[in-house]
Amino acid sequence: MSVGSPPLAAPIATLDPGVVPGALDEPPLISADMHPPVDLAEDLERFNARLATYLKPDDIARVGAAYVFSEAAHRGQMRLSGNPYISHPLAVAETLAGWRLDPHALIAALLHDVMEDTSITKEQIAERFGKVAADLVDGVSKLDRIEHQSFEEAQAENFRKMLLAMARDVRVILIKLADRLHNMQTLDAMRPEKRRRIACETLQIYAPIANRLGLNTLYSELQELAFRHAHPLRYSVLSKAVKGARGNRREVVSKILATIRKTLPAAGIDAEVMGREKHLYGIYRKMREKHLSFSQVLDIYGFRIIVKDRPTCYLALGALHGLYQPVPGKFKDYISIPKANGYQSLHTTLIGPFGTPVEIQIRDTEMHNIAESGVASHWMYKDESALGQLAKKTHKWLQSLVQLQASTGNSAEFLEHVKIDLFPSEVYVFSPKGKIFALPRGSTPVDVAYAVHTDIGDHCFACRINFETMPLRTELRNGDRVEIITAPNAAPSPAWLGFVKSARARSKIRHFLSTQQTAESSALGERLLAHALRDLGLALAKLPARAWERFKRTSGARSERSVLADIGLGKRLPAIVARRLAEGVEPWAAGVAPGERTQQAIMIHGSDGAAIRLGACCQPIPGDPIVGVIRKGQGLVVHTHDCRAIAKLRSERGNWIDVEWEPGTSGMFEASIRIVAKNVRGVLAGLAARIAETDSNIINISMDDDTGDATTLYFKLQVSDRNHLARILVALRRVPEVVRITRYVNPKS
């Protein structure tokens, strides 16, 4: 339901579905005999004028029929502003007509609220106006909020539906953006708190979408309207300050404008030069991000130069750099490397008269059309050279949304990824073969790896930036050459989520970890349940199917796999599940002989990923006596038998599991030691050398701030087992400076 729309006030029984004004001899413009309210006459006249500039008479007739249909459906409804409700869909359609959209889009714009606010169905729209228009209306319509637990969840699901509909047909989002524009223009009728909420939503979602689609004019207007309603006092103060500055800077701006208009023709360049004032929200954002006062924002005026073709853009740039001194680092060539939304221009900042910074944009006519209208240029202009590339980029982004939702768990997470993806790409890096990747500012080599291919991201373990080996978390800069190094056994780490910036990388990492956790948890759950069933004289593999069916029916579980995963994650206790599965099943009947009923322990091979974890508090290593504890959401956590942390869990005895180390367990495990050593020169180097001689690796070193003759050092090492640790301790005791050495466990207890 659009902002400000009241509930349905009247049925549409008086509507005659057979009236289709398409057989008239003259173009059937929308006129007074189609029941428009008197105060809509001017809007209808303007709309008619726009339609007549590019639509055929038959198409205008179809749009007129849609207006009749919509006006009858909404008859009796009023907006909170007091205007007839039909004024809203008419305004939306007029915006689309300004973009010269086709009749299907205009019909959908006029009908975009009838499915929500009336009893009209998609089938009725399809029968009357065709399947294309009906699909567009359905894509714009919101979902029924009753199905969701909260307003936020409903909004997230609505955005998900809308964006996926947009991936099928970009006209869906164009209608939705025009709808949001008119709602923002008439937002004054709302309560202040609702105005702020809608304005913030516009800044976070709709304005960035408009920017991503290259709709620069719409993007700026949405930002200005949202700023006015989200921060009315700041908007008012800043507006007055800008008005005051106009008089003070008018002479400077006029002088620069006159000089540029004189210089370019003298250089043989025919150009259209226009001055422009920065939008209030742009000034506000710059003040906030750079912590500036208004008086410190000198470049509130800029200039735009439009020339005939691409080579002339660079000629104009050279002429302007000869006229005024350019500011180092403030030149950007978006012609050679366009923005992700297809935007192309040369940007430069010059030092004008009296030391005033001057921002200048240089572009040709085609670039200007795309910069202002973005993806809507497809309908406005028929030159396919640049528009074809823009359409390809838009299609690629829209398809990425489809892939994103396929690997996303819920609507809120999907919306989070889309928000990340909507902000402009500002870092451009190169592959070893010279391919350019546009990524969000702050991106890392992991973002590059996933931009290349999901398999590259899932198996990357190192990188080279500008031929130097660097950490994967290194923040990339413009122009970096990034080479990704992969390995078959490498896998994504949860720590990557802390530094990746692109929505694609974040989504793929979460999907991998979720899938891996489910698989590992299911495997652990199967072992735990088999162990619990064995104590009851039952074998999991030979359990009757009816036992599982009865358990799923009574517990609400979706599948056996989900039950096993819940057991592995500690969400269900294996003993309780086993007892419920055993109900009505004869002992020994499921394949376990009486002599096989033993208390066998779960064998531990090490840290089995997400399903089995070694307690960080006591750092168990092979050879230590151990016990397992099932923790909700964590799976099986292994501790040493004397760990102080599990002493606090005696009341949860039912969650404890007998575990043992698998014979021949290999790998490296973390262990900590504490050394008290004499405070002499070279002691740390000597200790490190002895540790290296015992085939151990030092992970971390820290020390107390002792000022006496001795100091305390803490080493975190990698060891293979208890015997390996013992050899290290023996070797370190032989260092003359060592006073005392112990294994350091329970550091947080």
Instruction: List active site positions.
Output: 116-117
Given the structure tokens 């004869």, which residue do they identify? 586
> What is the number of alpha carbons within 13 Å of residue 530 lying toward its C-beta?
17
Instruction: Please say whether the beta carbons of 446 and 460 come within 8 A.
Output: yes
Q: Is 502 helix (H, G, I), strand (E, B) or coil?
A: coil
**Going edge to edge, which strands form the sheet with 468-470?**
468-470, 460-465, 482-486
Compute CA distances 203 → 53, 140, 419, whole Å: 33, 19, 11
Task: Determine how many CB atoms are found less than 10 A away from the CB of residue 199.
Answer: 23
d(CA 261, CA 192): 46
3-state DSSP of 301-344: EEEEEEECCHHHHHHHHHHHHHHCEECCCCCEECCCCCCCCCCC
d(CA 75, CA 698): 77
Angle between helices 151-168 and 131-140 in degrees, nearest 10: 150
Is residue 243 packed enough to be buried (19+ CB in 10 Å), middle (13-18) or exposed (0-12)?
A: exposed
Element (H, E) at 233: helix 232-266
DSSP strand pairing (612-614 vs 635-640): parallel
Alpha helices in 536-665 (DSSP H): 545-555, 560-568, 574-582, 644-647
Q: Is 450 helix (H, G, I), strand (E, B) or coil?
A: helix
Angle at 243 between CA 238 and CA 247, to 5 degrees: 140
Instruction: Please say whether the beta carbons of 117 and 72 come within 8 A.
Output: no
d(CA 504, CA 575): 41
Q: What is the DSSP string of 9-61?
A: -S--TT--TT--TTS-SS-----GGG---GGGHHHHHHHHHHHHTT--HHHHH
d(CA 185, CA 203): 14
Task: Determine how many CB atoms are found less than 10 A away from the CB of residue 382.
Answer: 8
- 474: which DSSP letter? P
Task: Determine how many CB atoms are found less than 10 A away from the CB of residue 233.
Answer: 7
